[in-house]
Every structure is written in structure tokens, then in C-alpha cells.
Amino acid sequence: MLFRFTAGLILVVIVSMVGIDLEKQTLEMRRAVSGQYFQKDLLLEMHAHLRLEIQTLTAPSQLAKIDHVTPPLTTPHRPSIGSDRPGRATPSPPSLPLLRWEHPAKRTD
């Protein structure tokens, strides 16, 4: 009789421990999914902001301002072979920033 009671009690404890472990895993997965949704929302917001900035910078009125301010680029002068004078170098256009698809905030796992 005592053996059956102890075996039943151990079985109940094992089942409850497995249930608790499964609940912990489920909660961890839900947190991960929630973080991914948050990151997706941030990326969509950044994308919308950047598209708006591109549209405002490439508006015809802005392009007219840029054309009046910056001189047109000239082609570089290539000296002929045997020429001693150095060629004129054109200023290189500013490099584009690299795309970063992560939010700048640090993630803690």
C-alpha cells in the first residue's frame, strides 16, 4: 500500500515538473516572438521615416536648390603617356551609409 502511494506521488510530481518546464519554454518562445514583433515594428517605422526623408530630399524644389549650390562634376583629366603634369582629380562623391537592419539598442538574451 505504501509502495503504491509513493509511486503515485512520484508520478504526480514528475508530471507537474514536466508541465512547469513546458510552460517555461512556451513563455520564453512567446517573449522571443514578442521581441521579433517589436523589432519588426521598429524596422517598419525606420523604413517609413527613411522613405519620407528620401522623398523630401529628391523633391523637385530640393533638387533645384542642390543644383544651384553644388558645381557640376567634371570628368577627370587623363594625362597622355609621357606627360609630366599630373591630372586633375575630381572630388569623390560621399559614400553611402551601410544598411543596418538591426535596431541600435542592445539585445539581451
Residue 84 lies in a domain: no
- Distance of alpha carbon 21 from alpha carbon 27, whole angstroms: 10
Range of the domain at 33: 2-67
pLDDT at 5: 95
Residue 30 lies in a domain: yes
Q: What average pLDDT does this structure show over 21-43?
A: 94
Residue 28 lies in a domain: yes
The DSSP letter of residue 102 is: S
Cβ atoms of 87 and 77 closer than 8 Å: yes
In the chain, how many domains are there? 1
- pLDDT averaged over the chain? 76
pLDDT, tens digit (0-9, with 9 covering 90-100), for 43-91: 999 999 999 998 888 877 766 666 555 555 555 555 555 555 555 555 5
pLDDT at 57: 84
pLDDT at 56: 85
How far are the Cα atoms of 5, 25, 28 from residue 18, in angstroms, in the given order?
20, 11, 15
pLDDT of 13 higher than 70: yes
Residue 74 lies in a domain: no
Amino acid, res. 91 = P
Residue 11 lies in a domain: yes
Residue 37 lies in a domain: yes
pLDDT of 106 higher than 60: no
Residue 93 lies in a domain: no
Residue 62 lies in a domain: yes
Cβ atoms of 49 and 60 closer than 8 Å: no
